Chains A and B, each alone.
Chain A
Amino acid sequence: MSATFDCVVVGAGPAGSAAALVLARAGKRVALVERGPFPGSKNMYGGVVYGRVLDTLVPGWEQEVPVQRWITRRATMVLTETQSLTVDFRSGAWARPPYNGCTTLRPDFDAWLAGKAEAAGAVLLCSTTVTGLRRDDTGRVTGVCTDRPGGELGAPVVIACDGVNSFLAKEAGLYQSFDPANFTLGAKEVIALPRDEIDRRFGLAGDEGADIEIVGATADVAGGGFVYTNADSVAIGVVLQLPGLARSGRRPEDLIAQLKAHPSIAPLVAGGDLKEYSAHLIPEGGYDAMPEIVTDGLMVAGDAAGLCLAAGIWLEGVNFAIGSGAAAGETAVEALRRGDASAKGLAGYRRRLESSFVLRDHRKLRRAPHFVLSERVQHRYPAVVCDLVEQLFTVENPAPKRGGLKAGWRALRAHDVPLRDVARDAWTALRTFG
């Protein structure tokens, strides 16, 4: 016997819970299906939730979100083996409402948002793995099959928020191609340290937090590193582009150990006990790597739709999951009202995303993932920039100062970067981020 709902949402991460919340509030019968024993139990991320997307969805969210620390310090760091250059920004405004970003543990955050959906009337079904789509003779999606006995869930609309591996989007044929180069592996250590020790090491007080993003931290694998503060733990990890990782023969935990051993990083994490090791894939291909997101009876949101923004200085995912999930929920409500959940009836989903930050940001930054993971940005410019700065600040009396242009020229030559490549990359950077 199968249960019937107005909508089945697969995955109680931020996308799924936002979708279920919108549907439940509109009075729709919605099932929110989670394969883990609780929401967030399968999830891991690179550290910061930018919560303003919740302003309309959960007014007053900042009063109740299970925050670890509010990010008031955002640093971008460029590393070589022995050098580091950091752009270190702090803002007092980020320590007050409406805030900017916060660190939070995903089991806490995801369970909180799923709780909102439940309180609005959604039926949360944990420990339930969706094993496939249910379809009618015409191929239209009419629900899902689960691994519970007799566990078919019927619904005219299914929203797949089943994460980066989205078996549902693949089963529905929405991924035209699946290029491993569009995915990175994130591997992370959460290291316990006393709260006041974290405050001292990162120069923080009260609920203030730091987020440090790092280029040049991953040896010959394209990717990056990160360090951020929770209340009484520090998270440190690496993000590794899959084909480069496969070619390198390096192990993920070895690259984390190498980052932790860097003289600029070691003092931040020294002496703490490892509390949890974790790993997860990240869809970093951006706008051009997205699957189709609508078919008859089905919408795809969050990581399942490839909606992580990995654009160098901007690294965001949870906000895009919430934004896309809520838009899918609104579209489902509208489609149910009109009684048309065909691809045409659900076409408003794409339009909603195109007019919101979700696809406006992704479209604007569509060139960024490729540029940021390119060989020169990853492996040459970190060394060029560090060498340039080292020359500028090394006083070699009795020799006079060299001057910035000459130092830059020498640094470029030392790392085999022709000027025409710099010019080309500067133009690309302008077109990408301008």
Chain B
Amino acid sequence: MTALSRAGAAVPDIAFEDRMATVEFRVAPDAHIVVDGDSCRGCTTRACVTACPANLFVPTSDGGILFNYEECFECGTCYMVCNTEGAITWRYPEGGHGVVFHRS
């Protein structure tokens, strides 16, 4: 036996949109994360795409990264796993906006 399956993905028991629909987001008018498309085009690791728990980073057909700020947990994973200095600029959203946890 190996440690819990390293390769196989478990069958998701809930669609990702339904998962995110359980979370309240008071969306701010301005984006609190800015992604520098030029830096991303040369990136081969794309750690943000898989690590972001809210799945906000989407690769585009031209090799860039599309980013949605609206449903962000404000956790900071994206800039911490990014190995390109300055590719992700991150700050907190305007006061009173962003994610609002009620049961966590």
Question: Measuring CB to CB, which residues of chain A are less than 8 angstroms from any residue of chain B?
Answer: 35-37, 40-45, 79-83, 105-107, 126-129, 131, 146-148, 164-165, 167, 178, 180, 183, 185, 187-188, 190, 216-220, 230, 233, 235, 242-243, 245-254, 257-262, 274-281, 378-380, 382-383, 386-387
Contacts and interface: CB of A to CB of B under 8 A. Distances in A.
A296 B44 CA distance: 42
A178 to B, nearest CB: 8
B53 interface: yes
Contact of A81 (B1, B45, B93): B1
Interface string B4-38: 11100111111010111011001000000000000
Contacts of B99: 41-42
Interface string B46-77: 01001101110000000000000000011111
A146 B95 contact: yes
Central interface residue in A36, A218, A383, by most chain B CB within 10 Å: A36
B101 A107 contact: yes
Contact of B23 (A83, A278, A379): A278
Nearest to A259: B4
Contact of A183 (B13, B80, B103): B80
B91 interface: yes
A246 B94 CA distance: 28
A45 B104 contact: yes
A246 B9 CA distance: 16
B81 A180 contact: yes
A278 B73 CA distance: 7
- The 10 lowest CB-CB distance pairs between A and B, nearest first, are A127-B96, A246-B47, A279-B53, A44-B104, A258-B10, A278-B104, A257-B10, A129-B95, A246-B81, A80-B1
A185 B4 contact: no
B3 A216 contact: yes
Contacts of B11: 257, 261
A218 B4 contact: yes
Nearest to B93: A129
Contacts of B104: 43-45, 105-107, 188, 190, 235, 276, 278
Nearest to A278: B104
Given A253-B12, A253-B19, A257-B10, A106 B101 contact: yes
Contact of B101 (A40, A249, A379): A40
Contacts of B91: 131, 167
A183 B94 CA distance: 25
Contacts of A383: 1-3
B54 to A, nearest CB: 7
A19 to B, nearest CB: 20
B3 A279 contact: no
A43 to B, nearest CB: 7
Contact of A37 (B47, B51, B80, B100): B100
A359 to B, nearest CB: 25
A252 B95 contact: no
Given A180-B80, A190-B103, A243-B81, A253 B4 contact: no
Contacts of B98: 36, 42
Contacts of B73: 278-280
A148 to B, nearest CB: 7
Contacts of B94: 129, 147
B96 A37 contact: yes
Nearest to B94: A147
Contact of B22 (A40, A178, A235, A277): A277
Contact of A220 (B6, B22, B80, B90): B6
Nearest to A387: B1
B89 to A, nearest CB: 12
Contacts of A42: 74, 98-101
